[in-house]
């Protein structure tokens, strides 16, 4: 708040400046120091994630939210909306104190990263999902209780589906293979890191039908530390632009290996006029120019000449034997290679 000087204070200040008791430079320095912004730093909970890394985590989980919206809507056959509400860093103790008891806490093994993470689902969302899968309208319950064995088994299936979406959302950074370890209902039994350890908390606003609640994904710094350098906008956008991860390349190879292409053994080529083609009859002989019986044939894959071959038989079937590979499709190169093979 700006302090307003009275007229007497202004007169005293002007008198002091004119008499030399106060230097104008000291006044200016004091004014600058008073306007200097001071950032409060708590050594008990140091910031371990930069703003850029927090932003990258947010982008990753926006993709996760879209995938989860689609998968849950299809599984529950109901309108489901999931979007990122916030991404914050805090201590693990603060996270545990902020969630209700009982609740649905899924301990996630973050292979190949060391350590675990926690996916917490609000009880209202949990019971809405269970009610929907059991044939109800998806109404939540105001009664707070632990899950039965059957309800816990149902939620395990839902969480496994959600983890599949998480793997796809993280694919640009790491080939994550999240696995469900166990489900707890009491937050005090899910001590995956020390209470003072810093975590990044992704809060997802979730709506199943008319029931609203939160899903929280808690990732300890110790778990995410090996890939912390990859959580930058530069790495993220470059990896998205490349799109050539090992997994993608292997997938492309597998799909290409099953594609059928035409392979044609070509004896030779000849140009004819349309009149000659129309006058052809059964028994006519077409003489190929500059082609001898001993010349190698070209083996074309699609519309590209790739090999030289010799005709023959394999059993009772016609066959060709590949004798040389052609590096380029040029005709001059083909003729030179054919001549070399003929000499041999």
Tens digit of each residue's pLDDT (9 = 90 or more) over 225-267: 888 888 776 665 555 555 455 666 777 777 778 788 888 888 8
pTM: 0.56
Whether the pLDDT of residue 26 is over 50: the answer is: yes
Percentage of the residues of the chain whose pLDDT score is greater than 70: 78
Evaluated on CA atoms 320, 325, 329, 331, the torsion sign reads: negative
Range in 12-26, 124-138, 155-169 the model is least confident about: 12-26
In the chain, % helix, strand, coil (3-state, to 5) comes to 40, 25, 35
Q: Which residue has the higher pLDDT, 91 or 234?
A: 91
Strand partners, 88: 201
Could you give all domains of the chain from N- to C-terminal order, each with its CATH number? 1-38 (no CATH), 51-251 (3.40.1550.10), 263-278+285-343 (2.30.330.10)
When pLDDT is cut at 50, 70 and 90, the band that residue 342 belongs to is low
| 191, 203 contact by CB (below 8 A) | no
Contacts of 107 (CB under 8 A, 6+ apart): 116, 117, 118, 180, 181, 182, 183, 184, 190, 192
When pLDDT is cut at 50, 70 and 90, the band that residue 329 belongs to is very low
pLDDT for residue 338: 53
Whether the pLDDT of residue 214 is over 50: the answer is: yes
- Mean pLDDT, rounded, for 130-143: 80
Tens digit of each residue's pLDDT (9 = 90 or more) over 277-289: 888 899 888 887 7
pLDDT for residue 32: 52
Whether the pLDDT of residue 319 is over 70: the answer is: yes
Whether the pLDDT of residue 143 is over 80: the answer is: no
Whether the pLDDT of residue 197 is over 70: the answer is: yes
The winner for highest mean pLDDT among 14-23, 310-319, 327-336 is: 310-319
């Amino acid at each position: 708040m700006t302090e307003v000087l009275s007229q007497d204070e202004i007169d005293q200040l002007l008198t002091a400046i004119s008499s030399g008791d106060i230097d104008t430079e000291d006044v200016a320095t004091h004014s600058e120091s008073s306007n200097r912004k001071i950032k409060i730093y708590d050594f008990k909970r140091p910031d371990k994630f930069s703003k850029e890394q927090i932003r990258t985590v947010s982008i990753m989980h926006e993709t996760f939210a879209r995938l989860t919206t689609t998968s849950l809507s299809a599984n529950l056959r109901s309108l489901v909306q999931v979007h990122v509400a916030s991404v914050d860093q805090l201590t693990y103790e603060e996270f545990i104190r902020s969630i209700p008891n009982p609740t649905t806490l899924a301990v996630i093994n973050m292979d190949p990263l060391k350590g675990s993470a926690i996916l917490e689902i609000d009880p209202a969302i949990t019971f809405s999902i269970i009610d929907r899968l059991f044939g109800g309208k998806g109404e939540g319950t105001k009664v707070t209780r632990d899950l039965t064995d059957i309800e816990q088994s149902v939620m395990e299936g839902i969480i496994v589906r959600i983890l599949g979406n998480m793997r796809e959302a993280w694919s640009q950074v790491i080939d994550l293979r999240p696995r469900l370890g166990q489900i707890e209902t009491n937050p005090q039994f899910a001590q995956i890191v020390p209470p003072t350890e810093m975590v990044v908390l992704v809060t997802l606003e979730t709506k199943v039908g008319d029931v609203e609640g939160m899903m929280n994904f808690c990732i300890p710094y110790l778990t995410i530390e090996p890939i912390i350098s990859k959580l930058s906008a530069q790495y993220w956008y470059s990896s998205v632009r490349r799109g050539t991860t090992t997994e993608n390349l292997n997938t492309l190879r597998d799909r290409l290996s099953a594609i059928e292409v035409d392979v044609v053994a070509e004896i030779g080529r000849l140009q004819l006029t349309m009149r000659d083609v129309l006058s052809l009859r059964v028994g006519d002989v077409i003489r190929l120019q500059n082609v001898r019986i001993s010349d190698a044939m070209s083996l074309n894959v699609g519309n590209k000449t790739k090999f030289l071959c010799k005709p023959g038989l394999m059993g009772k079937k016609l066959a060709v034997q590949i004798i040389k590979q052609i590096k380029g499709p040029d005709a001059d190169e083909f003729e030179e290679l054919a001549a070399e093979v003929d000499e041999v």
